Structure 1
Amino acid sequence: MGFLRVPRLYPIVDSEMLAARGIDLRSFVEELRDAGVTLLQYRDKTGSSEQILRNSRAISGIFQGADVTLVMNDSPELARLAGWRAVHVGQTDAAIAEARLALPHGIVGCSTHSTRQVIEADAAGADYIAIGPVFSTSTKRNPDPVVGLEGVRQARALTSKPLVAIGGITADSAGSVIEAGADSVAIIGAFFHPGATAAQWVETFIRAMPKSTA
Structure 2
Amino acid sequence: MTQLPRLYAILDAESCARRGLSLLETARAWRDAGVTLLQYRDKVASDLGVLRNAALLREVFGGLEATLILNDRVHLFADSGFDGVHVGQGDASVAAVRAVIGPDAVLGVSTHNPAQVSAADLLSVSYVAVGPVFATSTKLDTEPVVGLDGVALARSLTRKPLVAIGGITQANAAAVLEAGADSVAVISGLLDGDVRGFVAAHR
* TM-score normalised according to structure 2 size: 0.95
> 1: distance between equivalents of 2:181 and 2:50?
29
Structure 1 residues without counterparts, runs of 5 or longer: none
Change (3 A) 1:17 1:190: same
Report what 1:118 is aligned to: 117
Q: Deviations over 1:120-152 (max 9, x none)?
A: 111122110000000001000111000000100
Query: Does the aligned pair in 1 maintain the 2:33–2:199 contact within 8 Å?
Result: no
Report what 1:82 is aligned to: 80
> 2: distance between equivalents of 1:4 and 1:57?
26
Structure 1 residue aligned with 2:5, among 4, 7, 25? 7
Q: Does 1:150 align with 2:154?
A: no
Structure 2 counterpart of 1:192, one-letter code: L
Query: Does the aligned pair in 2 maintain the 1:133–1:144 contact within 8 Å?
Result: yes
The SS at the match of 1:164 is: strand
Query: Does the aligned pair in 1 maintain the 2:34–2:199 contact within 8 Å?
Result: no
The SS at the match of 2:122 is: helix
Query: Does the aligned pair in 1 maintain the 2:164–2:183 contact within 8 Å?
Result: yes
Structure 1 counterpart of 2:134, one-letter code: F
Query: Does the aligned pair in 1 maintain the 2:190–2:198 contact within 8 Å?
Result: no
> 2: distance between equivalents of 1:70 and 1:108?
11
Structure 2 counterpart of 1:203, one-letter code: G
For this pair of structures, how many residues does the alignment match?
202
Query: Does the aligned pair in 2 maintain the 1:74–1:94 contact within 8 Å?
Result: no
- 1:123-142 maps to which residues of 2 (within 5 A)? 123-142=122-141
Query: Does the aligned pair in 1 maintain the 2:40–2:70 contact within 8 Å?
Result: yes
- 1:46-57 maps to which residues of 2 (within 5 A)? 46-57=44-55
CA shift at 1:43, angstroms? 0.2
Structure 2 residue aligned with 1:201, among 184, 195, 203? 195
Structure 1 residue aligned with 2:24, among 23, 26, 30? 26
RMSD value, Cα: 1.3
The SS at the match of 2:108 is: strand
Structure 2 residues without counterparts, runs of 5 or longer: none
Query: Does the aligned pair in 1 maintain the 2:35–2:199 contact within 8 Å?
Result: no
* TM-score normalised according to structure 1 size: 0.90
Query: Does the aligned pair in 2 maintain the 1:85–1:103 contact within 8 Å?
Result: no
Structure 1 counterpart of 2:64, one-letter code: A
